[in-house]
Amino acid sequence: MLRRWRRRRDDLVCIELVEVVTDYLEGTMSARDRARFDAHLAACHGCTRYVAQLRTTIELTGQLQVDDVDALGADARAELLEVFRASRAT
């Protein structure tokens, strides 16, 4: 039997979560939107993993030192800068 999942108007979908995750992590989201976000996380394993990965990235990058960046080498640094510039251009 085919079960149809009906999305309520207040439900948050994955693409919306990706668009507002920064507000969520920075604590600037309204209480209503935060409740929608938390409800989505409770039901979506993929988005829960995505948010966890972002938190880990934020935590680890906050621990980077100048020596860590310098240790990358010129080629890796140039490649990272190129990717960063390309992402900002879109």
* Domain boundaries, given as residue ranges, for the chain: 14-89
The pTM is what? 0.61
pLDDT of residue 3: 38
30 token code pair: 């309204």
Cα three-residue angle 84-68-59, rounded to 5 degrees? 70
pLDDT of residue 73: 86
pLDDT of residue 48: 95
Q: Rounded to an integer, what distance in angstroms lies between the CA atom of residue 62 and that of residue 50?
A: 18
Residue with tokens 């969520």: 24
For the chain, the average pLDDT equals 83
* Low-confidence residues in the chain, pLDDT < 70: 1-11, 90
pLDDT of residue 12: 78
53 token code pair: 């990965």
